[in-house]
């Protein structure tokens, strides 16, 4: 009986093995993997190493001045503390030491310098604010510089257009006879108030009116003042009705 059971078990096992489906090769699943159903694998790149300021050429650099030369041109003065030498650069220029001025910002009082593969930011505030830029920071900084230059160029173009506009000369309030009348009346007002008269010749009628009001002395027919005690003058004065 025991032998019969063993034979039966062996027969069942053989039957199960014979009917089990065959395992598919891994290559059959490659098409699924190529479609990336779970997304792209994470980027495992190493973070970019930025040179410390103490190891950079900027450790010996000190920004000593920034000057606006007009028309958007900026000049930056730099001191090399290693030998206490001095040099100044415009944007785009390179010093004898191989230091290039990439950008400058007058309002922020800072400059972007490059030497070799290193790009640094120097500021007037001192070495504590010196910064070594990473590759991505360099790209962002250059984009900002380009935007700033374009903005300045647009403002400069607008100023030039404004200068080319014709100057509008205001129209005079009085012209011709109206102007002459106004000057005559203003001259009479000035004399009445005791102020120095204007170089305006009053008409005989207006002159006589001021004489009658006592603001001007009488004059004879030749234009000379009639002084008190002069008989002829007094006679003329009476004839004229003064």
State the pLDDT at residue 54: 85
Same domain, 145 and 229: no
Instruction: Among 162, 188, 205, give the residue marking a domain's end.
Output: 162
**Number of neighbouring beta carbons within 10 Å of residue 86:** 12
Establish if 80 belongs to a structural domain: yes
State the pLDDT at residue 186: 92
Establish if 152 belongs to a structural domain: yes
State the pLDDT at residue 189: 93
DSSP state of 199: S
Average pLDDT over residues 170-175: 84
Which range of residues forms the domain containing residue 204?
A: 176-239
Average pLDDT over residues 64-86: 86
Establish if 42 belongs to a structural domain: no
Establish if 125 belongs to a structural domain: yes
Q: How large a percentage of the chain has pLDDT more than 70? A: 69
State the pLDDT at residue 152: 67
Same domain, 202 and 117: no
Report whether 78 contacts 85 (CB < 8 A): no
Same domain, 59 and 157: yes
Q: How large a percentage of the chain has pLDDT more than 90? A: 9
Number of domains into which the chain is organized: 2
Under the banding of pLDDT at 50, 70 and 90, the label for residue 192 is very high
Establish if 28 belongs to a structural domain: no
Same domain, 60 and 137: yes
Same domain, 94 and 132: yes
State the pLDDT at residue 40: 66
Between 47 and 97, whose confidence is greater?
97
Going from the C-alpha of 147 to that of each of 14, 109, 119, 142, 173, the distances in angstroms are 79, 18, 19, 9, 48
Same domain, 145 and 191: no
State the pLDDT at residue 185: 92
Same domain, 75 and 145: yes
User: Would the pLDDT of 203 be above 70?
Assistant: yes
State the pLDDT at residue 5: 46
Establish if 30 belongs to a structural domain: no
Between 39 and 144, whose confidence is greater?
144
pTM over 0.85: no
Same domain, 73 and 151: yes
Same domain, 155 and 188: no
The most confident of the ranges 88-92, 134-138, 150-154 is 88-92
Average pLDDT over residues 107-130: 86
Q: Scan for tokens 């001007």, then name that residue.
A: 216
Same domain, 156 and 62: yes
Calculate the average pLDDT of the chain: 77
Same domain, 119 and 198: no
Instruction: Among 135, 162, 189, give the residue marking a domain's end.
Output: 162
Burial of 123 (0-12, 13-18, 19+ CB in 10 A): middle
* Sign of the torsion angle spanned by Cα atoms 115, 118, 124, 130: negative
Establish if 33 belongs to a structural domain: no
Establish if 170 belongs to a structural domain: no
Instruction: Among 106, 134, 162, give the residue marking a domain's end.
Output: 162
Give the least confident one: 39-53, 155-169, 200-214. 39-53
Same domain, 81 and 143: yes
């Amino acid at each position: 009986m025991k032998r019969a059971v063993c034979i039966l078990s062996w027969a069942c096992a053989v039957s199960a093995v014979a009917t089990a489906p065959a395992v598919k090769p891994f290559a059959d699943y490659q098409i699924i993997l190529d479609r990336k159903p779970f997304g792209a694998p994470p980027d495992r790149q190493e973070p970019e190493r930025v040179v410390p300021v103490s190891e950079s050429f900027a450790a010996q650099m000190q920004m000593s001045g920034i000057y606006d030369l007009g028309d958007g041109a900026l000049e930056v003065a730099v001191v090399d503390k290693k030998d206490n030498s001095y040099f100044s650069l415009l944007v785009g220029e390179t010093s004898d030491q191989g230091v290039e001025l990439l950008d400058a910002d007058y309002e922020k009082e800072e400059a972007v310098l490059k030497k070799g593969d290193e790009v640094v930011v120097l500021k007037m505030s001192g070495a504590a604010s010196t910064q070594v830029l990473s590759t991505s920071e360099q790209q962002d900084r250059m984009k900002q510089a380009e935007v700033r230059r374009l903005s300045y160029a647009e403002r400069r173009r607008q100023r030039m257009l404004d200068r080319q506009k014709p100057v509008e000369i205001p129209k005079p309030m009085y012209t011709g006879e109206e102007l002459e009348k106004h000057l005559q009346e203003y001259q009479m007002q000035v004399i009445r108030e005791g102020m120095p008269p204007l170089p305006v010749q009053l008409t005989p009628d207006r002159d006589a009116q001021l004489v009658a009001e006592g603001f001007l002395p009488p004059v004879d027919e030749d234009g000379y003042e009639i002084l008190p005690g002069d008989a002829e003058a007094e006679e003329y004065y009476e004839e004229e009705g003064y």
